[in-house]
Structure 1
Amino acid sequence: MILKNKVFKKGSIVLLILLMLTSMVVGCSKTATNEDATVADTLELKETTDAEEPVIIRLTGGDYGYPTPFQHYPRGPGGYKMQLVFDSLLERDENGLIPWMAKEWEISEDGLEYTFTIHEDIQWQDGKPLTMEDIQFSFEYFEKHPPVWNPVTMDGKAFVEKIEIIDKDKIRFTISEKNVTILEKIGDVRMIPKHIWEAIEDPDAFQGEEAVIGCGPYLLTNYNKEHGTYEFTAFENYWGSKPVVEKIQFVPASDEVLAFENNEVDLASIGSDLLARYQGDSRFKIIQNPGFWGYRLLFNMEKKSIFKEKEVRQAIAYGIDQEELVEKVERGAAIVASAGYLPKDHIWYNDGVKKYPFDVEAAKERIGDRKITFQLLTGNSNTEVRIAELIKISLKEVGIDVDIKSVDTKTRDHAINTKDYEVALTGHGGWGSDADILRERYATTVQAGSSPSSNIIPGYENEEIKALAQQQLGETNVEKRKKIIFQLQEIIAEEVSFLPLYNTTGYTVYQPSKYDDWMYMYDHHTVSHSKLSYLQRK
């Protein structure tokens, strides 16, 4: 992996230190609307950028919703666009959480109080100063009106009991019970200006210029829903590290690699089959993505009761040739997923969990004389259709008949959310998150409006998993918590209540002569999603 180890100028906290700390406690600019011209129509593409010229980065477009906390689409490209506009108390660099709007914080000995000291020079993009009342309001408003990405609740309940403004630059949060994930959750809440949102009763319908006023480093200056184009322009009065990139533009590109070679976009994702095209050429730099994006099969045990039988779920796991999926679908740019869910690149990955290599006899032995058929719901992308077809072929060998139903992505995601499927294929990121993701995936109740990457196992409960998942949440000792997480992975792999298939790795290629400050967040797979990729760093 080629990856620059850069340090943000306000300082960072090494991931291991972060884990120990969290475990020991637990000027208005015009905003364009849908009717405006697309970015690609109005701005000239350039091959290179001189030092004196503003840096303009062009990336592959696509509509991911209006980038407010309430109207972006649940998938990553929507949320990370929103975060260019809306800042939070903490951010993430290559190693872990770092100070952001909050320059420092303290955690009480009992792990129930979090006190943050905020930078005093922060202003909203309409020129008004940010106050502690804005921060308090943001948390309280999100409790009443949950945003798309909602870190203010756990299992549908708010975890902050009290918010106190201590000083003009200091605010304290009191939580209901000790929880090792709370620092990250509080730190991830996006701030919205009270003077705009306090009069808004329906944030899902609130659009226009004021809806996208945040205190982040970029203003939204163009959005066209029909064409899936966006333009974000650097906010000149940004309080923090100044943007190096003047404009970030998302433009149409039906073939990303072709668009990259035609200098229409500045970044492209490639598989192993295209590596030779760029390797050894000094014009290009290639970086390998961590395996924090993946595909999995979801079993609806309410709709298809046979899936309640562990032997049937294991038979399906043995009956799918995951190595074949990696080679034929991803051309080797992926890794077989762990049945314990946490992928190989995760810091707490357990390599000792039960594995399910393709084994026709093992599958048939578990099926016995059962007659198993099911409908497999999938999106209509070439990748997902190909995965579904290969699954159908391999399961046919073990005596399981599969009927493939292919629909568009939004329809598939809606069907998952409403539990209108028998078996569903879904792909998403977030596999590198804190290990509490195991509790969220396997031991929580499905909430209304959940995204397709949320826990959705209709008809399944496991008391041992639930008990261990809750235990790790309050475990303050790092090694003891890690031991619980390893045990959880072993039980989860044995139960295979849904089936992780593979995690994509792949590569990102770009021209360093155009821009060379890309970086990964420690738990994420895409450099273009990191806000710090566009800001000044040492």
Structure 2
Amino acid sequence: MFRLSRQTLGAALAASLIAGAAHAEVVLHRGNGGEPQTLDQAHTSIDVEANVLKDLYEGLTVYGPDGKVLPGAAESWSVSDDKLTYTFKLRQDAKWSDGSPVTAEDFAFSFRRVEDPKEAAGYANLFYPFKNAESINTKGMAVDQLGVKAVDEKTLEIALERPTPYLLELLAHQAALPVNKASVEKNGADFVKPGVMVSNGAFKLTENVANDHIAAVKNANYWDASSVKIDKVVFYPLEDQAAAVRRFQAGELDVNYYFPTDQTDYLRKQLGDQVHMSASLASYYYVFDTRHEPFNDVRVRKALAMSIDREFLSHEIFQDGQLPLYSAVPPGIASYGEPEKVEYAGMDQLDREDKAKELLKEAGWGEGGKPLKIDIRYNTNANHEKVATAVADNWKALGATVTLTNLDVKSHYAYLQEGGNFDVARAGWTADYADAESFLGLNISTNKTFNYGHWANAKYDELMAQSYKETDPAKRSAVLHEAEKVLLVEEPVTTLMVFGSPWLVSNKVKGWQDNAANEHLSKFLSKEQ
């Protein structure tokens, strides 16, 4: 009988273990800061959804590791001389996770779906630069009149209402991700479920356990699968930042979005360069519900806005990880230049408080007037609670009675987007594209999804409409500046800080680059075992 020697057997076993280790599954564990409301592109609205969706699907363009736009499902594109027509060539080897080809009609169908008023997509206005999009979404024009056309299986044509210099960035947004037409028509709303979802990104959905985790595995049919180094991604909806930090320190998380920024210095001492805080085109703001007293009075809004000590918020709560903001548009947008500022930006904090009291007295609220009662709503988060508490102290100094209400991030934004009544609510906004319109467009009266305070101003709407028609970049920028001035005078929203992007990234994770777009696709990352 043939027998292996003990030495030979040992060598074979060692070789087997080495081979097994070499092929061990590489799992990336990502703390995601909150529970997604949806994994349906047409109904997405927040960054924790985008983080998941952009691993599952790929748009015509994508953001690279450095935050710059790269070709995605489209390998190339051309632009007409009048800048009104873009022609995209899809990759010949672009496939869905079920092996079927990604087609131009899939993209055309997806864009029509977003603009169809029956779908009630919150981001429909994002694609109003497309030919006939606004008329379809708001005025009853037939959805097949949208300016998207499948020229052939792999050629998509997009016709525009006006030149749109930020179109390529817009197409990298999560609402521009395609859906599989056949799957949506067959499965309806169930197309988002594990085992049903057909996606075209680097990963495909395998699990979605509410308030626990979302798991996705490498998509073997992805056109660039050979370059993807991660076998599986698991997203955890961790709103408890302190708990998330502990899990990161214990090695249970490789990447975590958000941490208590008042612990930034401490965490840097403990974790070194694994702590990342990068400035981004994003704002942290409070919005007033202008539908009821006293927040329908600009004097009250102005008084409350100017009394907030932004320097305290920045230095004491965020340890300068976020900077005071006195404009509606954050700085850093090259095409816009220096943003406008509120009139009290240069005033001393004590002088602001005195002026605020004068305005409230003039309006008949607060000390000597009608009782001023304010409820601040915010999404559950240690930092947001600290901000709300500090702002409440500022307002109590004006004679107001202030209460706090918090909900998880999913419920908080759902409440605002569905038109729930409130006094003051916390919100944040990250630019969908590097253009001032991404911030100013939030407050157009017809923006039913993101104009949380239901503010309406005819002059503002007129200026924004004018900016959409203006093709000269300098003139367009000037019009947007005028719109920002109107917004800052009326102050239906008050910006508090330029919102930084706090991440914890393990030294085992490679390929990570901080960027202003705050985009970090798992397909560009790798992990040492």
What SS class does the counterpart of residue 288 from structure 1 fall into? Answer: strand
Aligned to 1:39: none
Aligned partner of 2:16 in structure 1 is none
Assess, with a 3 A threshold, how the Cα gap between structure 1 residues 206 and 218 changes in structure 2: closer, same or farther: closer
Q: CA deviation at 1:125?
A: 0.5
Give the counterpart letter for 1:442 in structure 2.
N
Q: Tell me the CA shift for residue 498 of structure 1.
A: 1.2
3-state DSSP of counterpart to 2:329: coil
Distance 2:319 2:515 in 1: 25
Is 1:303 matched with 2:287? no
Confirm or deny: 8 A CA contact 2:169 2:432 kept in the other structure: no
Q: What SS does structure 2 have at the residue aligned with 1:505?
A: strand
Instruction: Indicate the residue corresponding to 1:197 in structure 2.
Output: 184
Per the alignment, residue 49 of structure 2 pairs with 78
Partner amino acid, structure 2, of 1:361: D
Q: 2:215 aligns with which of 231, 239, 244?
A: 231
- How high is the TM-score relative to the length of structure 2? 0.78
Distance 1:318 1:136, change over 3 A: closer
The code of the aligned residue for 2:377 comes to: T
1:187–1:390 CA distance, 2 compared to 1 (3 A) = closer
Q: Give the match's secondary structure for 2:312.
A: helix
Give the one of 312, 333, 337 matched to 1:324.
Answer: 312
| Contact 2:280/2:515, CA 8 A, preserved across alignment | no
1:289 has 2:278 as partner: yes
**Match among 353, 356, 360 for residue 367 of structure 1:** 360
Q: Given the alignment of the two structures, is residue 101 of structure 1 paired with residue 91 of structure 2, yes or no?
A: no
CA 1:471/1:98 → structure 2, altered by over 3 Å: closer, same or farther?
farther
1:393, 1:223 → 2: CA distance?
41
Q: Give 1 or 2: higher helix fraction.
A: 2
Matching residue's letter, 2:486: I
Cα deviation code 1:165-188 (max 9, x no counterpart): 333422212234444454544554
**What runs of 5+ residues in structure 1 fail to find an aligned partner?**
1-48
- The superposition leaves residues 126-155 of structure 1 with CA deviations (integer Å, 9 ceiling, x where unpaired) of 111223332332233333335565444566
Q: Distance in 2 between matches of 1:313 and 1:179?
A: 34
1:376 CA drift (Å): 1.8
User: For residues 432 and 133 of structure 1, what CA distance do their matches in structure 2 show?
Assistant: 24
1:217 to 196, 202, 206: 202
What displacement does 1:229 show?
0.7
User: Does 1:115 pair with 2:87?
Assistant: yes
Give the corresponding residue for 2:146: 161
1:216, distance to aligned residue in structure 2 (A): 0.8
How do 1:6-155 and structure 2 match up within 5 A?
A: 53-60=24-31, 62-65=34-37, 67-69=39-41, 74-93=45-64, 94=66, 96-144=68-116, 145-147=119-121, 149-150=123-124, 151-153=126-128
**Residue 383 of structure 1 aligns with which residue?**
383
> How much has 1:99 moved relative to structure 2?
1.6
Q: Which of 220, 233, 240 is equivalent to 2:224?
A: 240
Q: What CA deviation, in whole Å up to 9, does each residue of 1:237-293 have, x standing for no partner? A: 3113621222211247651221111111112444364335545977x4443221444
Q: CA deviation at 1:235?
A: 1.2
Q: Give the SS at the match of 2:512.
A: coil
Secondary structure of 2:151's aligned partner:
strand
Cα deviation for residue 346 of structure 1 reads 4.3
What is the identity, as a one-letter code, of the residue corresponding to 1:264?
A: E
Structure 1 residues 345 and 146, CA gap change in structure 2 (3 angstroms): same
SS in 1 for 2:279: coil
Structure 1 Cα separation of the partners of residues 489 and 306 of structure 2? 12
Change (3 A) 1:409 1:139: closer
Q: Which residue identity does 2:103 align to in structure 1?
A: T
What residue in structure 1 maps to residue 510 of structure 2? Answer: 516
3-state SS, counterpart of residue 198 of structure 1: helix
The 2-side partners of 1:176 and 1:535 are apart by: 41
Determine if contact 1:436/1:473 at 8 Å carries over to the other structure. Answer: no
Partner in structure 1 of residue 4 of structure 2: none
C-alpha change, 1:493 and 1:113, in structure 2 (3 Å) is same
Structure 2 portions without partners, runs of 5+:
1-19, 367-371
> Aligned pair in 2 of structure 1 residues 486, 163: CA closer, same or farther (>3 Å)?
closer
CA shift for structure 1 position 363: 1.0
Partner Cα separation in structure 2 for residue 95 and residue 482 of structure 1: 23
- Report if the CA contact (8 A) 2:288-2:493 is conserved: yes
2:525 counterpart residue number: 534
Structure with bigger gyration radius: 2
Q: Give me the whole-angstrom Cα distance separating, in 2, the residues matched to 1:386 and 1:229.
A: 27
Q: How far off its partner does 1:386 sit?
A: 2.8
Which stretch shifts more, 350-359 or 82-91?
350-359
SS at match of 2:295: helix
Alpha-carbon distance in structure 2 between the residues aligned to 1:418 and 1:251 = 26
- Give aligned-pair identity as a percent: 17
